[in-house]
Amino acid sequence: MDWSRPGAAVRSLRHRFSPRNAAEVVAVLVLLTVALSTLSSSTRRPAGPLQSRACAFPAIFNFGDSNSDTGGKSAAFHRLLPPNGDTFFGTSSGRYCDGKVILDFIAEKLGLPFLSAYLDSMGTNFRHGANFATGGSTIQPVDTRIFEGGFSPISLDIQLSQFEQFKAHTLELHAGKSDYAKSSLPRPEDFSKALYTMDIGQNDLHATLKSMTEKQALASIPNILNKFAVAVERLYQQGARAFWIHNTGPIGCLPHYFVFDPPESNATDKNGCLASYNKIAQEFNMQLKTLVSKLRLRLVGTTLNYIDIYSAKYTLISEAQKHGFGGPLEYCCGHDGDYTVYCGQKAIVNGTEVVGDSCSDPSKVISWDGVHYSHAANQWVANRVVDGSSRMFRFLSRNHVTSPFTPDHCVQKVNSPEVAIHLSKYSSFSIPKVQLNQSGSEHS
């Protein structure tokens, strides 16, 4: 399947979803109204109005790397030590962060508990989903080049196999009337009603930059995304119908590249980020967005949400001081200079034990450890991509719609004749079938 020729699909989508088609614009706006109202007031389970709604997502299944890992790598390979986790959890939680990752904030907004890592066997509960992400994972299956680069062997195809096994075993236990299944596993019908989140690709780009020229790295992107398309279709065959897909962040702004792995070219942009690395990330994202558009046309009855994490993160980096952060290329945990100690690790320097400890105030730093974002930065980004705080539209409608934040079986009714919504500039939503009012008109 060749996804490397985006032009025709983009032109087709622009024509099909032109703003001049008022009925479809109204559909999108009503769609987002329901979505954002669903997300606006939830905190944690079990209480809250979202839990009483029949159309709330019953579960989340996540696939990704360390940006959304909630304990997979820590359980499978080596325990992630404090000060990771200290800000929010008070101890290490298996997250490459001082607190919560973006996935945690998404779960909170949906009124769901934090996702347990599939690979963690200690006190886990999968009633409302499972997290298959592991730190260091790639979209591409692991080969010698990727493995020798220090990346995880649990690539996206392995995560999908784990999910398929998890689903099959869950259905078997429910069929056998297992008490454990009733209390700790998703209900059989939850798999088709769940939200499927995907946050992966950064390590693929990192792996190419470690072993290829930048030109070769750019040329490798279509092959990487072909494999991502196969993964989405594989989940679709398993019944997945609602997808939340993150693009990759501005990798040229990661302090890691300046401290531990300096590139050959050091041309920087206005924020001090490596311009060529960000160009590669932007090309990856452009092709990913085109791919998502194509998948929307191919996968009938599916809602695919493309989330522009790059723009949200780069905005934060560009406006760091405005939002109470320090220098955008500073990081909090670990030590470099005359010696290097990674976050949470120890080393003997001149006969003395040195610890890669945290800075005094992680809430003032965007980067936690040079690669991953801090709890405070993750919260800022999550608020922008989930809450939708930019463009506002007013319209007149009385419609039935399917929301991108509710399963396809749910139908919400908007009774208010005039509704004001906030449309996030970081989200791109597909358009499901809707029943419009007689005029389908839009008002500014």
Catalytic positions: 66, 369, 372
d(CA 111, CA 99) in angstroms, rounded, equals 18
d(CA 347, CA 82) in angstroms, rounded, equals 15
Residue 410 has φ and ψ, to the nearest 5°, of -90, 135
Residue pair 394/388 in contact (Cβ under 8 Å)? The answer is: no
Measured distance between the N- and C-terminal CA atoms of the chain, rounded to whole angstroms: 42
d(CA 263, CA 259) in angstroms, rounded, equals 10
Spell out a b/e string for 202-213, using b for 16 or more CB atoms within 10 Å of the CB, else e. Answer: bbbbbbbbbeee
Q: Is 414 strand, coil or helix?
A: coil
Which residue, 306, 406, 382, 414, is CA-closest to 38?
A: 406
Which residue, 295, 286, 140, 284, is CA-closest to 219?
A: 284
DSSP letter, residue 113: P
Q: Is 385 strand, coil or helix?
A: helix
